[in-house]
Amino acid sequence: MNGDRTDDEKWYCPLAGRVVAAGYCLDINYQRVGMFKPDVLKDVMRRTLLDVDGVSKVCRGCPNQPLSSEDYAEMGVTESVERNAD
pLDDT value for 42: 95
pTM as predicted: 0.76
**C-alpha span between 80 and 60 (Å, rounded):** 7
For residue 65, the SS3 value is: coil
Greater model confidence, 80 or 27: 27
pLDDT value for 76: 82
pLDDT value for 85: 34
pLDDT above 70 for 60: yes
Condensed to tens digits (0 to 9), the pLDDT of residues 1-57 reads 445 555 578 999 999 999 999 999 999 999 998 889 999 999 999 999 999 999 999
**C-alpha span between 82 and 80 (Å, rounded):** 6
pLDDT above 80 for 83: no
